[in-house]
């Protein structure tokens, strides 16, 4: 497995990261069998993934607990990336949140600790100062951010504190960060960790129309605001989304690469991307996703995928918040 050295740290992450959100089921995902989750995590590790992304928010600590249960005995050979929620950005709250994370994860350090979403109510410099304090104490090895837009990234840069990554929604069906966030991250040397890299399964071709997509997963701005879990006021673009999926699927068949692997391999070709963070609810999905590492896209293939997805990129525009019109990515 190829590694990627995060800046301002000695932290090397695997170029595919396993995402530990869906494996706890519940919100967004529905029922999940714990045996499948443990098997998925073990498979990811056995196949060479060493970096695991989690958050206190995933099942109120359940995802951190699950990771400890599945891979606790490999602690020295894995890197744990966790996140602190924006409600805990006051320095004392952040330090308490980290202590809870360490307890949930049954470890004495977190490799990468990330600010989950911006919180404009709390001075970012204070929050970054608390992260630096945790780092100085050896409780975290590096810190990063997530869902940070250009303004917040600018504040990070001006603060003098050095962030090691920005975790953003990025995939062939959601290219919003390309307008200004990705160029800013490249300029500031802040690598991107891509979440929802197969658009929560849509990029495997498993759904052939919007009707098949469960309501809790159809919350994104691709879908009509009439969907029951929706929080946005956009009109949605379901027809264009499924036309685009159809075209990617046809291209995947033409080049004989599974669509999910093609989508992940495309991300690995993007300048500024350190790693996609891909979820998997069982060992079989993990095995299939690992096929990505055998794929090497040519420049023509990359261009073709960008042509196919350009109309959807234009339709959804530069708002990098997958779920809200009133963007929280600031």
Ligand X SMILES: NC(=O)c1ccc[n+]([C@@H]2O[C@H](COP(=O)([O-])OP(=O)(O)OC[C@H]3O[C@@H](n4cnc5c(N)ncnc54)[C@H](OP(=O)(O)O)[C@@H]3O)[C@@H](O)[C@H]2O)c1
- Closest separation between CB of residue 115 and ligand X, Å? 10
Is residue 319 a contact point for ligand X (CB under 6 A)? no
Is residue 289 a contact point for ligand X (CB under 6 A)? yes
Q: What is the 3-state secondary structure (H, E, C) of the chain?
A: CCEEECCCCCCEEECCEEECCHHHCECCCECCCHHHHHHHHHHHHHCCCCEEECCCCCCCCHHHHHHHHHHHHHHHHCEEEEEECHHHCCHHHHHHHHHHHHHHHCCCCEEEEEECCCCCCCCHHHHHHHHHHHHHCCCEEEEEEECCCHHHHHHHHHHCCCCCCEEEECECCECHHHCCHHHHHHHHCCCEEEECCCHHHHHHCCCCCHHHCCHHHCCCCCCCCCCCCCCCCCCCCHHHHHHHHHHHHHHHHHHCCCHHHHHHHHHHCCCCEEEEEEECCCHHHHHHHHHHHHCCCCHHHHHHHHHHHHHHHHHHCCCCCCCCCCCCCC
- Closest separation between CB of residue 167 and ligand X, Å? 5
Is residue 166 a contact point for ligand X (CB under 6 A)? no
In terms of CB distance, is 21 or 266 closer to ligand X?
21
In terms of CB distance, is 160 or 264 closer to ligand X?
264
Is residue 277 a contact point for ligand X (CB under 6 A)? yes
Given candidates 6, 11, 16, 20, which one binds ligand X under the rule CB under 6 A? Answer: 20
Is residue 170 a contact point for ligand X (CB under 6 A)? no
Given candidates 134, 199, 237, 268, which one binds ligand X under the rule CB under 6 A? Answer: 199
- Closest separation between CB of residue 320 and ligand X, Å? 11
Is residue 164 a contact point for ligand X (CB under 6 A)? no
Site for ligand X in 49-88 (CB under 6 A): 53
Is residue 264 a contact point for ligand X (CB under 6 A)? no
Is residue 89 a contact point for ligand X (CB under 6 A)? no
- Closest separation between CB of residue 288 and ligand X, Å? 4
Is residue 257 a contact point for ligand X (CB under 6 A)? no
In terms of CB distance, is 119 or 200 closer to ligand X?
200
Is residue 215 a contact point for ligand X (CB under 6 A)? no
Is residue 91 a contact point for ligand X (CB under 6 A)? no
Say which residue the tokens 């969907």 belong to. Answer: 227
What is the contact surface with ligand X in residues (CB under 6 A)?
A: 19-22, 53, 116, 146-147, 167, 195-201, 204, 206, 260, 277-281, 285, 288-289
């Amino acid at each position: 497995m190829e590694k990627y050295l995060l800046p301002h740290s000695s932290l090397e992450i695997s170029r595919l990261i396993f995402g530990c959100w869906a494996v706890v089921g519940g919100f967004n995902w529905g029922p999940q069998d714990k045996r499948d989750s443990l098997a998925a995590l073990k498979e990811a590790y056995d196949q060479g993934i060493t970096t695991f992304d989690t958050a206190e928010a995933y099942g109120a600590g359940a995802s951190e607990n699950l990771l400890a249960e599945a891979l606790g005995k490999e602690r020295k050979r894995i890197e744990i990336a966790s996140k602190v929620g924006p409600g805990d950005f006051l320095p004392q709250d952040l330090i308490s949140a980290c202590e809870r994370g360490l307890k949930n994860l049954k470890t004495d350090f977190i490799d990468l600790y990330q600010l989950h979403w911006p919180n404009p109510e709390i001075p970012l410099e204070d929050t970054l100062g608390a992260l630096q304090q945790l780092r100085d104490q050896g409780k975290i090895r590096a810190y990063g951010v997530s869902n940070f837009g250009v303004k917040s990234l600018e504040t990070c840069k001006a603060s003098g504190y050095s962030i090691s990554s920005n975790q953003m929604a990025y995939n062939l069906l959601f290219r919003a960060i390309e307008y200004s966030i990705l160029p800013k991250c490249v300029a500031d040397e802040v690598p991107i960790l891509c979440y929802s890299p197969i658009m929560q399964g849509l990029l495997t071709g498993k759904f052939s129309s919007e009707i098949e997509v469960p309501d809790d997963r159809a919350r994104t701005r691709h879908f009509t605001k009439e969907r029951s879990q929706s929080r946005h006021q956009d009109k949605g673009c379901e027809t264009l989304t499924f036309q685009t999926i159809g075209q990617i699927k046809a291209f995947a068949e033409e080049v004989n690469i599974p669509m999910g692997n093609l989508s992940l391999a495309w991300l690995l070709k993007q300048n500024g991307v350190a790693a996609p963070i891909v979820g998997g609810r069982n060992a079989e999905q993990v095995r299939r996703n690992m096929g990505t590492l055998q794929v090497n896209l040519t420049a023509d293939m990359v261009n073709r995928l960008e042509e196919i997805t350009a109309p959807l990129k234009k339709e959804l525009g530069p708002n990098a918040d997958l779920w809200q019109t009133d963007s929280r990515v600031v």
